[in-house]
A and B are shown apart, each in its own frame.
Chain A
């Protein structure tokens, strides 16, 4: 009996063959869209008040994971900074050169100024280079684990070099 089943299986006898189509005649096509299905799922899921599954605490922190979090973090940070500058432009009296002179007059040492510049340059460089890495993934390249780690280290290296170059120029 087992031998018969194994022989049939090896020859690929399955329901997709035309002889067996008669068995599938009563299958009903899906009446809902993906969006409806998703909404039904989320309605039930939110109602159940299920606890969030541990995702940050249960898994080992790997380099690609940390880089992805950093990409999101730098993105939110940079966007926040841009919004802050825009709101400041609308709200604060006086123009930009006035405030720049104000900061100048506080006479921070070159080290602190360099540090502040690095604080702007490094998130920007990192986000830009990792963004390019994301775009390369989007065209389908570089998904093998070795490639992921290699491109990751390249992004970190390039970010450090670029931000130091920007600060020192």
Chain B
């Protein structure tokens, strides 16, 4: 990130736009790698409270990742961004609604049913988005087409 700040302060606007794009993309890749290592750590972690706090951290990392994806998708649209966006959007929504359910649904069976329903919804959402990416124009192109209306 510091590299981008230095670049933008030195270079004239417009000349190194591609370099900025590449650096933004590289940063996004770094964050993805961090998220992956955190995931592996979570799976090997011990107690339930440790898992809960790792989940909290993972939620924040994913949020930052999703924020970073927006400009990257704008400047580098394509299948890589389409599938990354599908995964990040679905997971962020899944975890977000999971928190809403935790807040408002009480009682063991009700929680189990609600979480199962949410899991089903998220699975359908992710498969639908992947289907859209594979068989149709893809998320980035779809938004571009919608907005040029």
Contact = CB atoms under 8 A, between A and B. Distances in A.
Interface of A: 33-35, 42, 45-46, 72, 75-76, 78-79, 82-83, 85-90, 95-97, 100, 103-104, 113, 117, 128, 131-132, 135, 138, 166, 169
Q: Is the interface of B mostly helix, strand, loop or mixed?
A: helix
B43 interface: no
Contacts of B147: 117, 166, 169
Contact of A46 (B96, B107, B128, B136): B107
Contact of B125 (A35, A83, A113): A83
Contacts of A87: 124-125, 128
B124 A90 contact: yes
Contacts of A89: 128-129, 131-132, 136
- Give the interface residue-count category, chain B: 20 to 34
5 contacts: A45-B106, A85-B128, A86-B127, A96-B136, A117-B147
Contacts of A128: 67, 70
Interface of B: 48-49, 60, 63-64, 67, 70, 89-90, 93, 96-97, 100, 106-107, 121, 124-129, 131-132, 135-137, 142, 145-147, 149
Contact of B137 (A75, A88, A97): A97
B61 to A, nearest CB: 10
